[in-house]
Amino acid sequence: MKIGDRRNTDPLGVGTLGGGSEPAAPERTDGEPGGSDSVRVSGAARTLARLIARHEAVSDEVRPEKVEPLRAAVAEGRYQVDLEATARKLLREVVGDLLGPAS
C-alpha cells in the first residue's frame, strides 16, 4: 500500500468492532426461531477494537511537513526503518493497553 492510499481503510475487515452501540446479530443455524444464541468478545478483541478506534481517530491527521520528506525518501530508496525501535514501540503500546492505566 502506498502512502496516502486510502482505498481500504479497514484492512482487517473488523469495521466498528466493539465500537458500535448495537450488538451484532448472531446468525441462526439450527432453523428454530427465537433461540438463545450469544456472542462473547475476548479481552484481546476488545483491546484490538480500542487500538483500531484510536488509529481511526488520528489516521485522518495529515501533517504535510512530516509526510512529504518521508514520501520523497521512499521514492528515492533512502528510507530506512529501524525494525527494533518500531517493534519496541508497538509492544509498549499493546502491553500498555493490556495492563491498563498506571496507578
In order, the DSSP letters of the chain are --TT--S-S-TTS-TTTTTSSSPPPPPP-S--TT--------HHHHHHHHHHHHHHHHHT---HHHHHHHHHHHHHT-----HHHHHHHHHHHHHHHHH-S--
* pTM for the structure as a whole: 0.31
Output the pLDDT for position 54: 82
Q: Which residues of the chain register pLDDT less than 50?
A: 1, 16-23
Q: What is the pLDDT of residue 76?
A: 96
As a whole number of angstroms, the distance between CA 84 and CA 48 comes to 22
